[in-house]
Each structure stands twice: as C-alpha cells, then as structure tokens.
Amino acid sequence: MALMITDECINCDVCEPECPNDAISMGPEIYLIDPNKCTECVGHFDEPQCVQVCPVECIPRNPDHLESAEQLQQKYHALMAAKNG
Ligand code: SF4
Ligand code: SF4
C-alpha cells in the first residue's frame, strides 16, 4: 500500500529528503506522495521513513492504493530498474 499525506501536514519539509524513492514532493498546498513511487520503503528500510520523521503523524496508508507486501517488492524492483536505466 502506498502512503498518503493528509491536510494536517504543516509543511515542515523533513520528510521529503528522507524518501528513498523520491516519492514526496511539495504540492499546491501541502506535501504529496506519488503512489506510483511509494513502496512503504520496502526494499530500502524496515519502516516507512517519512512516518518516522513526521512530527504531526499525518501519513497514513492510502486506502485507494491497496497493495500486498509482494506487490510493494515488485514496485521496488521496477523503480530500481527504471532508475538504473
Ligand atoms: S513510505 Fe518510504 S517510499 Fe513511501 S513516501 Fe514514505 S519515505 Fe517514501
Ligand atoms: S513530515 Fe509530516 S508535516 Fe512535515 S512535511 Fe512531511 S508530511 Fe508534512
């Protein structure tokens, strides 16, 4: 499952540089997570790094992007393959 940032985000900027998949970017008002790039940090870390650093706990799972651990692993491999050309 990809994660999502809710409107409780205070734009503190700390999560963006922590994402190993460059899935987090500033949106029109608050930060956004690209569900096509978020693997819940599978393949990189044991825990979602953005959730670890967010001071207001506004990063839940995205109910519109339900994925199994296996699917997240496959997404990780696809992202790495794209990154490495
Ligand atoms: S869970 Fe990991 S991959 Fe997903 S947005 Fe957060 S830091 Fe990036
Ligand atoms: S760490 Fe949390 S509050 Fe800070 S920018 Fe990211 S989502 Fe928003």
Domain count for the chain = 1
For residue 69, being part of any structural domain is answered with yes
Q: Give the residue from 11, 41, 8 showing the smallest Cα distance to 26.
A: 11
Residue 7 in this model has a pLDDT that exceeds 90: yes
pLDDT class for 8, splitting at 50, 70, 90?
very high
Provide the whole-model pTM. Answer: 0.95
CA angle 71, 51, 61 (to 5 degrees): 45
- The residues, any chain, with a CB within 8 Å of residue 5's CB and separated by 6 or more, are 15, 24, 30, 31, 32, 33, 58, 59
Place of tokens 């930060």: 31
For residue 57, being part of any structural domain is answered with yes
Instruction: State the CATH number of the domain containing residue 42.
Output: 3.30.70.20
At 55-65, the pLDDT tens digits run 999 999 999 99
For residue 7, being part of any structural domain is answered with no
Find the 79 Cα to ligand 2 centroid distance in Å. 23
Return mean pLDDT, the chain. Answer: 96
Q: Ligand 1: list residues with CB < 6 Å.
A: 3, 18-19, 21, 23-24, 33, 38-41, 48-50
Note whether 44 and 1 are within 8 A (CB): no
Residue 84 in this model has a pLDDT that exceeds 90: no
- Domain of 64 in residue numbering reads as 16-84
For residue 4, being part of any structural domain is answered with no
